């Protein structure tokens, strides 16, 4: 009897075609919906996103082609069977070691998409939730720091960012948990 392959916990996005595939704000929204809702048909995805399924099929196929989404199963519907898709792993990590100009441009596009997505989430959520802006129960935060950092301070900052990443990856959702988003961008200024 063959064993069902074990799901990965984190998918490292490192290939140029994967990086290009996730630079689109629409695809970032698809990944967010899949993260929140799990396995979905394109019709269900369209209902969640407020889009017609025809506008999403191409994006889903591209994400499958590069190995970020996988076909989960086929479900019967009123008209014809529909494929359900899911993330290949519950968490995605951008893991780039290539510094080519093309990759730099793609990474900048991804950062831009993530920031637009964070802004959209923030604007929608602040009107739907009671904001707690300080203290241990804070549920909304926006931070920006601009300062000169030495190489040693950059290393320390990256250590702390790695600790945050590890912490976030180790969290297990509970039934009473509410969905949150944390977006961090580190960049030198001009």
Walk me through the domains of the chain, giving residue ranges and CATH numbers. 10-93 (1.10.10.10)
- Alpha helices by DSSP H, the chain: 16-21, 25-37, 42-49, 57-65, 101-128, 151-170
* pLDDT at site 1: 47
Tally of residues, the chain = 190
Q: Contact at 8 Å (CB) between 92 and 31?
A: yes
End-to-end Cα spacing for the chain: 59
What pLDDT is attached to residue 8?
Answer: 62
Question: How many angstroms separate the CA atoms of 112 and 95, rounded?
Answer: 17
pLDDT in tens, the chain (190 residues): 444 444 568 888 888 889 889 888 899 889 989 988 889 999 999 999 999 999 999 999 999 999 999 999 888 877 788 899 999 988 888 877 777 787 888 888 888 888 888 888 888 888 888 889 999 999 898 889 999 999 999 999 999 999 998 898 788 777 788 888 888 888 898 7
| pLDDT value at residue 69 | 96
Q: Between helices 57-65 and 25-37, what is the axis angle to 10°?
A: 80
Determine the pLDDT at residue 175.
78
CA gap 179, 134 in Å, rounded:
19
Beta bridge partners of 59: none
């Amino acid at each position: 009897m063959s064993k069902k392959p074990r799901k990965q916990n984190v998918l490292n996005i490192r290939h140029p075609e994967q990086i290009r595939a996730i630079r689109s704000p629409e695809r970032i929204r698809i990944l967010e919906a899949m993260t929140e809702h799990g396995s979905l048909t394109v019709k269900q995805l369209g209902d969640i996103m407020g889009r017609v399924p025809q506008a999403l099929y191409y994006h889903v196929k591209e994400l499958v082609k590069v190995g970020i989404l996988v076909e989960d199963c086929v479900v019967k519907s009123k008209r014809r069977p529909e494929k359900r898709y899911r993330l290949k792993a519950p968490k995605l990590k951008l893991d780039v070691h290539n510094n080519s100009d093309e990759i730099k441009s793609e990474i900048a596009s991804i950062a831009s998409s993530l920031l637009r997505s964070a802004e959209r989430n923030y604007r929608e959520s602040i009107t739907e939730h009671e904001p707690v802006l300080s203290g241990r129960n804070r549920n909304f935060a926006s931070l920006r720091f601009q300062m000169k950092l030495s190489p040693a301070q950059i290393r320390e900052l990256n250590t702390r960012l790695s600790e945050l990443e590890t912490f976030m990856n180790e969290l297990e959702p509970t039934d009473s948990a509410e969905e949150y988003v944390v977006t961090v961008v580190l960049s030198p200024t001009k």
